[in-house]
A and B are shown apart, each in its own frame.
Chain A
Amino acid sequence: MRKNVNAAFYVPYVLWLGLFVIAPMLLIFYQSFFDINHHFTLANYATYFQSGTYLTMTFNSVWYAFVITVVTLLISYPAALILHYMKHKQLWLLLIILPTWVNLLLKAYAFIGIFGKDGGINNFLGFFGAAPMQLLFTDAAFIFVAAYIEIPFMILPIFNGIEELDENLVNASQDLGASSWQTFTKVTLPLTMSGVKSGVQAVFIPSLSLFMLTRLIGGNRVITLGTAIEEHFLTTMNWGMGSTIGVVLIVAMVIIMFLTGERAKHRVKGGRRHV
């Protein structure tokens, strides 16, 4: 009896996974084998891997996601470290998380206002005679906004990693004559690596399929796989091709998870969400 009850505890978990994770993925996989006339075909995959367009797009997506992740990481790690030594760190942390409560679309529109020709930045540059500069629809603007949006999701896991770090280890390292730099590279960084890895996962993977920002901030001068999926589902009505790109993205994500995943057990803290 006891054993049965224990097994029964898996039911909600399995149901949830089956209905909301496995089934949708299978559906995407299934869809990807149909062409625009609903005939079974492998042509979608052939198209994907033979056309320069999709390969370039894949390369672009990975490249942008990589740059966004690096920028985010470079800002987040020092920020998390400083946060750790702050007096009211929970308050500061809350302030960093606060922007995630605001809808992404609103933030994007706010940036349109800031980067615009008559926007805040160009008005400021105007004092130095450098305005108006084209800021909107540039790579830099796209990466800036994407990084801004992703930063909380990078800071959280890193911050948690640093919090879990035993302060005595840092003290011991310094007592034993290590410089601050040595302490950081030999003790702090390796021991908080799991936080960095979860942060990278939480940022890189959604960045691969950003699509709304590519149009609003990038003006479709930045094209990622997400843009192509949107187009295939909404405009071309070629669900097969859209699903094929979806499958490629899922595979890419599995690879990233594998590369950044830790062999030993690790905890992922800090949320994930839809972008």
Chain B
Amino acid sequence: MKKLLSGIFAIIIVCMALAAGSARLAKSQGATGGNVLNFANWGDYIDPALIKKFEKETGYHVNQETFDSNEAMYTKIKQGGTHYDLTVPSEYMVEKMANDHLLVPLDKSKLTGMNNFGKDFMNQPFDPGNKYSIPYFWGTLGIIYNDKYIKPGAIQHWDDLWSKKYRGQIMLIDSARDIMGMSLVSLGKSMNTTDTPTLAAAKAKLDTLSPNVKAVVADEIKMYMGNNEAPLAVDWSGEAADMMYENSHLHYIVPTEGSNLWFDNFVIPKTAEHYKAIYAFLNFMSNPKNAAQNTDYVGYSTPNNAARKLLPKSTREDKSFYPTESTMKRLEVYKDLAPTVVGKYNDYFLEFKMFRH
């Protein structure tokens, strides 16, 4: 009898632990008290010193919580139970969240630093008139090369990657949209292509890149490139900045024929409660001095032109991270495509990964 009872108890305890765990997951933290700001951000994506400074200046306490994919953050906000006041989705997710009525429009009268932002980064198709979002950082997709193995200037365009010289030397980021997009651009097509024949052509072109591909990996690319494991990689500018910090032989270029332009943006989700703290924080972050300090810490490109002027000359005129006007014009922002189309991108990408000679 004792055994029986303890068995049943064990199961009840496991169930309760699971329920508690899932409730915790759903709720996450997020204090609901008065002087707080519940901020959901990507990991290591803000200078902690700035948060301290903000808390000291304004008296608000910042609860920072991190997420590692737009989708995870989206699910949390959509399912409720969170109390986020601010979050930082990428551009296509801003569009998706706005369409799903998960965002609160910005009250422009309470924002003080909007004139600091460059025109190139405002009024983007994913959020016309910046009704919901303020750009936080932006970047591109490009090629990283190691000057120990590749002569500077040898790689200028996407098509150069297809050269027979680079057999088994390229690492690709494991992202369907980006790698399919790269192939589409090299064919002179849009990165937001939706029609199947064009996508199939892009996939066929990718297959011919297959002998040159050493691996298709995710975050590990940073480690591999840092260790000189491969001479070439296709990755985002933000990741490239991290790698170049680790290994001075690495360089980043944005092909002039076009690439992706991405944005991470501040938005107010509908779960927000502390509006005073939100606007205080947004204004604090768009202050040129603070934005410059944050840019220096994070290493991505800032849309805040006033802040950019405060950066060291070598940074603010670096063509890799602040491309020329003519290249900027050819960069394309991802649109939020229909799920079936996204599925198609992913299926083709999976087939490409399976393709072997």
Measured between C-beta atoms, what is the minimum distance from A269 to chain B in Å? Answer: 22
The main secondary structure of chain B at its interface with chain A is helix
Q: How far is the CA of A53 from the CA of B4 in the complex (A)?
A: 50
Measured between C-beta atoms, what is the minimum distance from B334 to chain A in Å? Answer: 14
Measured between C-beta atoms, what is the minimum distance from B343 to chain A in Å? Answer: 6
Query: Which residue of chain A is the closest to B348 with respect to CB atoms?
Result: A53
Query: Which residue of chain A is the closest to B351 with respect to CB atoms?
Result: A53
Contact A11 B4 (CB under 8 A): yes
A9 at the interface (CB under 8 A from B): yes
Contact B4 A12 (CB under 8 A): yes
B174 at the interface (CB under 8 A from A): yes
B228 at the interface (CB under 8 A from A): yes
Q: How far is the CA of A215 from the CA of B214 in the complex (A)?
A: 12
Residues of A within 8 A of B1 (CB): 5
Q: Mark B215-246, 1 if CB is under 8 A from A, else 0.
A: 11110100100011100000000000000000
Contact B339 A36 (CB under 8 A): yes
Contact A223 B339 (CB under 8 A): no
Stretch in contact with the other chain, from B6-14, B98-106, B183-191: B6-14
Contact A236 B69 (CB under 8 A): no
Contact residues, A37-83 vs B (CB, 8 A):
37, 53, 56-57, 60
A238 at the interface (CB under 8 A from B): yes
Measured between C-beta atoms, what is the minimum distance from B87 to chain A in Å? Answer: 19
Contact A9 B4 (CB under 8 A): yes
Across the interface, A223 reaches (CB within 8 A) one of B340, B347, B354, namely: B354
Contact A136 B343 (CB under 8 A): no
Most B C-beta atoms less than 10 A away, residue of A5, A12, A227, A231: A12
Residues of B within 8 A of A184 (CB): none
Interface size class of B (residues with CB under 8 A): 35 or more
Query: Which residue of chain A is the closest to B168 with respect to CB atoms?
Result: A134
Query: Which residue of chain B is the closest to A218 with respect to CB atoms?
Result: B215
B346 at the interface (CB under 8 A from A): yes
Contact A219 B216 (CB under 8 A): yes
Interface size on A, residues (CB 8 A): 36
A178 at the interface (CB under 8 A from B): no
Q: Mark A208-243, 1 if CB is under 8 A from B, else 0.
A: 000000011001110100011001001111100000
Residues of B within 8 A of A262 (CB): none
Given contacts A15-B8, A215-B218, contact A238 B350 (CB under 8 A): no
Q: Mark B200-226, 1 if CB is under 8 A from A, else 0.
A: 000000000000011111101001000
Query: Which residue of chain B is the closest to A5 with respect to CB atoms?
Result: B1
A16 at the interface (CB under 8 A from B): yes
Contact B351 A137 (CB under 8 A): no
Residues of B within 8 A of A164 (CB): none
Residues of B within 8 A of A57 (CB): 354
Residues of B within 8 A of A136 (CB): 215, 229
Across the interface, B353 reaches (CB within 8 A) one of A37, A112, A137, A223, namely: A223
B15 at the interface (CB under 8 A from A): yes
Given contacts A8-B4, A12-B7, A215-B174, contact A237 B220 (CB under 8 A): no
Contact B346 A236 (CB under 8 A): yes
Residues of A within 8 A of B168 (CB): 134
Nearest first, the 4 A-B pairs at minimum CB distance are: A219-B215, A12-B7, A220-B216, A236-B346
Query: Can you show 22 pairs from A to B with CB atoms below 8 A apart?
Result: A5-B1, A9-B4, A9-B7, A11-B7, A12-B10, A15-B8, A16-B11, A19-B15, A56-B354, A112-B223, A117-B229, A136-B215, A215-B174, A215-B218, A216-B220, A219-B215, A219-B216, A220-B353, A221-B216, A223-B350, A237-B339, A238-B343
